[in-house]
Amino acid sequence: QVQLVESGGGLVQAGGSLRLSCAASGRTFSTRDMGWFRQAPGKEREFVAAITWSFGNIAYADSVKGRFTISRDNAKNTVYLQMDSLKAEDTAVYYCAASTRYHGGSYSMNDYSYWGQGTQVTVSS
């Protein structure tokens, strides 16, 4: 089993920044891709960004390209999501996810086996 714990969410004004962290524990050696997804009220969960532990392959949703940056610290088993130039439409619960198969940075929820509990990000306009 793999446990994922997100942190760093909060309330920020439009144009501001937040950094989310996702700490992985347990059988972390079994994980390959790490992803961030988000779900706004009344909407489906959507892909935000993904990274691979081994090669650092990165993928972003078009809506966050140029504003969000995903990174990882292999020694700490932690993945980060730096969010800059935040907009009101970025308001959502952000979830960290882990895949046990290598996908090169998958955007599909179906490829991820483990999920964190989520952290709320609220951007005021």
- In which band, very low, low, confident or very high, does the pLDDT at 121 lie, cut at 50, 70 and 90? very high
- Mean pLDDT of the region 57-84: 96
Strands 114-115 and 10-13: unpaired
In the predicted structure, residue 103 carries a pLDDT above the cut 90: no
Question: Which single residue is written with the structure tokens 């972390």?
Answer: 28
Nearest CA-CA partner of 16 in 70, 80, 91 = 91
Inter-residue contact 80 to 91 (CB < 8 Å): no
Give SS3 for 56.
coil
**What is residue 104's predicted lDDT score, i.e. its pLDDT?**
87
- Mean pLDDT of the region 115-124: 98
Residue-wise pLDDT tens digits, 24-70: 999 888 888 999 999 999 999 999 999 998 888 999 999 999 999 99
